Amino acid sequence: MLRVEKLNYDVKGRKLLKDVSLQVRKGEMVVLLGSNGAGKSTLMRLLACDQKPSSGFISLNRQPLDEYDQRTLARCRALLTQQQQVSLAFKVREIVFMGRYPHFDAVAQPQDYTIVDEVMELCGISDFSDRVYMSLSGGEQQRVQLARVLAQIWDNPDSLLLLDEPISALDMHYQQKVLAIAKALSRRGYMVVLVLHDLNFAANYADRIIMLKHGRKLFDGTPMEVLNAKNIYTVFSVEAQVEMNPKTLRPYVKLEEMTLDGQLVTNII
Amino acid sequence: MSVKQRIIIVVLTVSLVVVATFSLGLGAYHIPVGDVWGLLMHKIGLSNLPTEKALDDNVLFVVRMPRVLLGLLVGAALGVSGAGIQGIFRNPLADPGLIGISSGASLFAVLVIAFESLLFVGLSQLLGHYLLILGAFIGAGLTAFIVYRISLKEGRPQVTTMLLAGIAINGLAGAITGLMTYMATEQQLRTITFWMLGNLGGATWENVTAVAPFILIPMFCTLFFGKALNAFALGEMQADLLGMQTDRVKLWVVTLGTLAVGASVAVSGIIGFVGLLVPHTVRLLGGADNRYVLMASTVMGAMVLTLADVLSRTLAAPIELPIGVITALLGTPVFLYILIKEK
């Protein structure tokens, strides 16, 4: 279980996160929603222990996050970040294999190779496993990085899987597929936290949705509880109609067309 | 490491042995390669020495052998630290000179040359030629340390700051070196030039044994950082998330690189392009996996420098060309060719 209590994080006097508390249970898939700059990525980095909070407390599986040995933590938490550049001419398979680095010292075990093959197959990248990463399209690169992150924690269902906008560059098919993979992993016991921007994906796949604004947690609950027109307007300043999808019993969000106010339009023209 | 990468390393190693053996015989005084083998066999007690070969024996073991060994050591040092530094900076165009190691070493060496007769008379008598080596070594260490300290932000080294600080320190060291050159006497100028262009001519058994540990130990230690440097390619944050302790890796690789390059600049002067070009070529041959790149760069660095030294001894024999001139003359076109081909 992941427990977060009264988390604050400031950089140079700016408060990026204010008093955020939350919990993620084993086997739960939680989606973070919020506008740009709301603190989602910052929160993800704190949960990954990449940054230390200014104050507050995070524990993973009953152990405070800052008491973990770096290598041990690497075997039970993985974070897919938004930036995914690789500077030298590494091949796809080599990149995915790096996900197994925390699990061996000098010589990889047979199971490491098996896992790499499995996750590459799952993410649909086996066909170009010998190509150089830099030569791939953005969406392909994103799937390679996802495969690497999955390889890192593949054999430990007590892990925390953090995916920061994992489908931002993907086509429709892989958007669905990646969310389905995340969901399936949560059913195997993983704690999964994702940042998404599509409200209907969030509604369909999340067990729970947390909505952030200006570094604060405003709403936290099941999709039915928190995805309503009022909350959506509060967080995103966007008019929306929310219905219930009778097949899934989950909310379905229809966005209204946005009109620019008069002054802005004159400026454009 | 893939099969292909293993094969490349084996091929490079075999070529290294061949090149080194031939280079023992070549120079102003030529010894046929068969005789080189004969003399080597005799040295380890496997055959008798024909009397007329006494001169060959002398040239081979007193002059050539230390020189070839020094070339191997310096080349390996430049190759492996080039590969390590490029890994840390995640940039195939980085090299040890970039963070001020070489320019710091040369600045201090030039200071020693310029002020030897004025300030360091006592030391000079005590240490002799070693004073220059010591000076260069201290210079390399000091500049690398300053650059490293400047790059620390909240206790963590920032790679871009390190790079920029290195460029600044390079400029400063270059200016002071230039000033010293400007003020130097005729004799000093000759020494300075000789040294700035790189030269293995000063090789003696004392030099080689003095410098060997400072090169061999960092070299072998650097080879163990392949995995960590691979993770660095994903960015420092991901390397950290993979449990790599990036701050420690940076400190170690830079320290080991400084030791090896500082030591080699100290005995052979500045030899450019090897640290830049060798790892780059190695990557083109067999891929970017640093476990392979580090090892292959070590072997190839040693081979390239041995070859360059043969050329410097034979091209205009009996005059010796500075080896730094050879590596730059050959390195530049090769490098430009690679750049254009990669576009």
Give the one of B87, B231, B287 whose C-beta lies nearest to A98's C-beta. Answer: B231
Phi, psi angles (nearest 5°) of residue A29? -115, 115
Categorize the per-residue pLDDT at B47 as very low, low, confident or very high, splitting at 50, 70 and 90.
Answer: low
Cβ distance B235 to A90 less than 8 Å, yes or no, reads no
Cβ distance A90 to B289 less than 8 Å, yes or no, reads yes
Q: What is the mean pLDDT of residues B150-170?
A: 81
Categorize the per-residue pLDDT at B51 as very low, low, confident or very high, splitting at 50, 70 and 90.
Answer: low
What is the pLDDT at residue B203?
A: 83
More confident residue, B40 or B51: B40
What is the pLDDT at residue B49?
A: 60
| Domain count along chain B | 1
The answer to which of A78-87, B6-15, B93-102, B248-257 has the lowest mean pLDDT is B93-102
Task: CATH number of the domain at B193, please.
Answer: 1.10.3470.10
Res A7 pLDDT > 80? yes
Cβ distance A94 to B231 less than 8 Å, yes or no, reads no
Res A167 pLDDT > 90? yes
The answer to which of A131-135, A211-215, B100-104, B236-240 has the lowest mean pLDDT is B100-104
Q: Which residues of B touch A90 (CB under 8 A)?
A: 230, 233, 287-289
**Per-residue pLDDT tens over the stretch A246-268:** 888 899 998 877 777 766 666 66
Categorize the per-residue pLDDT at B38 as very low, low, confident or very high, splitting at 50, 70 and 90.
Answer: confident
Q: Which residues of A touch B240 (CB under 8 A)?
A: 50, 70
Q: Which residues of A touch B241 (CB under 8 A)?
A: 48, 50, 74, 77-79
Res A223 pLDDT > 80? yes
Q: What is the mean pLDDT of residues B39-51?
A: 69
Phi, psi angles (nearest 5°) of residue B153? -125, 120
Q: What is the mean pLDDT of residues B102-112?
A: 85
Q: Which residues of B touch A48 (CB under 8 A)?
A: 241
More confident residue, A65 or A260: A65
Share of chain A above pLDDT 90, in %: 81
What is the pLDDT at residue B107?
A: 87
Q: Identify the bridge partners of residue A219 per DSSP, sorted by sequence position.
A: A211
Distance CA B129, CA B267 (A): 10
Res B119 pLDDT > 80? no
Give the one of A74, A83, A106 whose C-beta lies nearest to B241's C-beta. Answer: A74
Q: Which residue of B has its CA nearest to A101?
A: B242
Categorize the per-residue pLDDT at B121 as very low, low, confident or very high, splitting at 50, 70 and 90.
Answer: low
User: Which of A11, A83, A88, A92 is best to mutate for the B interface (most B CBs within 10 A)?
Assistant: A88
Taking a C-beta distance cutoff of 8 angstroms, is the pair A208, A222 a contact? yes
Cβ distance A50 to B240 less than 8 Å, yes or no, reads yes
What is the DSSP track for B22-76? Answer: HHHH-SSS---HHHHHHHHHHHTTSSPPPGGGHHHHHIIIIIIHHHHHHHHHHHH
Taking a C-beta distance cutoff of 8 angstroms, is the pair B230, B289 a contact? yes
Residues of A at the B interface (Cβ-Cβ below 8 Å)? Answer: 48, 50, 70-75, 77-79, 81, 83, 85-91, 94-95, 98-99, 101-102, 106, 148, 152
B289–A contact, CB cutoff 8 A: yes
Phi, psi angles (nearest 5°) of residue A248? -100, -10
B55–A contact, CB cutoff 8 A: no
Residue B134 belongs to domain spanning? 3-342
Distance CA B115, CA B118 (A): 5
Res B46 pLDDT > 70? no
For residue A213, give Cα distances in angstroms to A84, A108, A217, A237, A239: 26, 44, 7, 11, 17
More confident residue, B338 or A27: A27
Q: What is the mean pLDDT of residues B216-226?
A: 95
Share of chain B above pLDDT 90, in %: 27
Distance CA A74, CA A160 (A): 10
Give how far the C-alpha of residue A268 lies from the chain's centroid of Cα atoms, to the nearest Å.
36
The answer to which of A57-66, A200-209, B194-203, B259-268 has the lowest mean pLDDT is B194-203
Q: Kindly tell me the sign of the dihedral angle through the C-alpha atoms of A211, A212, A213, A217.
A: positive
- End-to-end CA distance of chain B, in Å? 27
Cβ distance B237 to A50 less than 8 Å, yes or no, reads yes
Place of tokens 């427990």: A3
Categorize the per-residue pLDDT at B187 as very low, low, confident or very high, splitting at 50, 70 and 90.
Answer: confident
Report the 10 Å Cβ neighbour count for A83.
Answer: 10
Res B44 pLDDT > 90? no
Taking a C-beta distance cutoff of 8 angstroms, is the pair A194, A161 a contact? no
What is the pLDDT at residue B116?
A: 72
ipTM of the complex: 0.88
Categorize the per-residue pLDDT at A79 as very low, low, confident or very high, splitting at 50, 70 and 90.
Answer: very high
**Per-residue pLDDT tens over the stretch B268-324:** 888 888 888 899 899 989 999 999 999 999 999 999 999 999 998 888 777 888 898
Res B93 pLDDT > 80? no
Q: Which residue of B has its CA nearest to A152?
A: B242
Res A56 pLDDT > 80? yes
The answer to which of A32-36, A234-238, B272-276, B307-311 has the lowest mean pLDDT is B272-276
Order the strands of the A191-195 sheet from edge to edge.
A77-80, A160-164, A191-195, A29-34, A208-213, A216-221
pTM exceeds cut of 0.90: no
Distance CA B275, CA B84 (A): 10
Please, which residues have CB within 8 angstroms of residue B73's CB and are 6 or more apart in sequence? Answer: B208, B211, B212, B215, B216, B264, B302
B241–A contact, CB cutoff 8 A: yes
Res B73 pLDDT > 90? yes
B287–A contact, CB cutoff 8 A: yes
Q: What is the mean pLDDT of residues A121-130?
A: 94
Q: What is the mean pLDDT of residues A15-31?
A: 94
Q: Which residue of B has its CA nearest to A71?
A: B243
Phi, psi angles (nearest 5°) of residue A56? 115, 180
B291–A contact, CB cutoff 8 A: no
Categorize the per-residue pLDDT at B202 as very low, low, confident or very high, splitting at 50, 70 and 90.
Answer: confident
Helix, strand, coil percentages for chain A (3-state, nearest 5):
40, 30, 35
Order the strands of the A63-64 sheet from edge to edge.
A14-24, A2-11, A55-60, A63-64
Say what angle helices B290-314 and B3-25 make with each other, to 10 degrees.
20
Q: What is the mean pLDDT of residues A12-34?
A: 93
What is the pLDDT at residue B74?
A: 94
Q: How many helices (H) and strands (E) does chain B have?
A: 16, 2
Cβ distance B230 to A101 less than 8 Å, yes or no, reads yes
For residue A62, give Cα distances in angstroms to A2, A157, B200: 8, 16, 62
DSSP class of residue A166? T
More confident residue, A238 or B90: A238
A265 CB-contact burial (10 Å; exposed 0-12 / middle 13-18 / buried 19+): exposed
**In this structure, which amino acid lies at residue B196?**
M
What is the pLDDT at residue B31?
A: 79
Q: How many CA atoms lie within 13 A of B211 on its CB side?
A: 34
Res B129 pLDDT > 70? no
What is the pLDDT at residue B159?
A: 76
Cβ distance A101 to B245 less than 8 Å, yes or no, reads no
The answer to which of B33-42, B140-149, B166-175, B230-239 has the lowest mean pLDDT is B33-42
